[in-house]
């Protein structure tokens, strides 16, 4: 079966496998094409092969935290145009501000309202695709 090339492509970056799998299952049921990464190294490896529409990023990761990973993605000319959405259990106002200051377009707190989360991802993807089309 061929992948739907029009399906929104998302990479979920979370070191918790259960969280990644749950989000992947839910997003796939909503028509998203989902890739998963357990850490920043895996994300970078995936980005070399695939240019997703959006990256969903946890803050608490091994090797490098999500804030620094977001900053690294945004500092890379090849990837800086990919929107980053934080989805984290870190819920303080300071964490949200820090995530947004690192270049994220949205910050969702766990537990997440999945319908609102999926709808916002669709909006982000639609906006990005319109910009890429020049409309």
- Span 70-86, average pLDDT: 96
Q: How do residues 11-57 score in pLDDT, each as one tens digit?
A: 999 999 999 999 999 999 999 999 999 999 999 999 999 999 999 99
| Among the listed residues 57, 54, 53, 48, the one whose alpha carbon sits nearest the alpha carbon of residue 76 | 48
| Among the listed residues 63, 7, 50, the one whose alpha carbon sits nearest the alpha carbon of residue 31 | 7
pTM for this prediction: 0.94
Would residue 30 count as lying in a domain?
yes
User: What does the alpha-carbon distance between residue 83 and residue 68 come to, in Å, rounded to a whole number?
Assistant: 15
What domain count does the chain have?
1
Residues 6+ apart with CB under 8 A from 37: 11, 12, 13, 43, 45, 46
Q: Which CATH number characterizes residue 44's domain?
A: 3.40.50.2300
Would residue 123 count as lying in a domain?
no
Domain extent for 26: 9-113
Torsion from C-alpha of 25, 26, 29, 35, nearest 10 degrees: -50
Would residue 103 count as lying in a domain?
yes
């Amino acid at each position: 079966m061929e992948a739907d090339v029009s399906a929104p492509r998302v990479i979920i970056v979370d070191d918790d496998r259960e969280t990644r799998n749950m989000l992947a299952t839910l997003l796939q049921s909503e028509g998203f094409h989902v890739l998963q990464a357990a850490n920043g190294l895996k994300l970078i490896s995936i980005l070399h092969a695939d240019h997703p529409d959006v990256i969903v990023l946890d803050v608490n990761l091994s090797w490098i935290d999500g804030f620094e990973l977001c900053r690294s993605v945004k500092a890379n000319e090849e990837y800086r145009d990919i929107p980053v959405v934080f989805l984290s259990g870190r819920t303080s106002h300071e964490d949200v501000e820090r995530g947004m200051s690192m270049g994220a377009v949205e910050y969702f707190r766990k537990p997440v309202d999945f319908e609102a989360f999926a709808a916002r991802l669709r909006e982000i993807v639609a906006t990005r695709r319109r910009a890429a089309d020049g409309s």
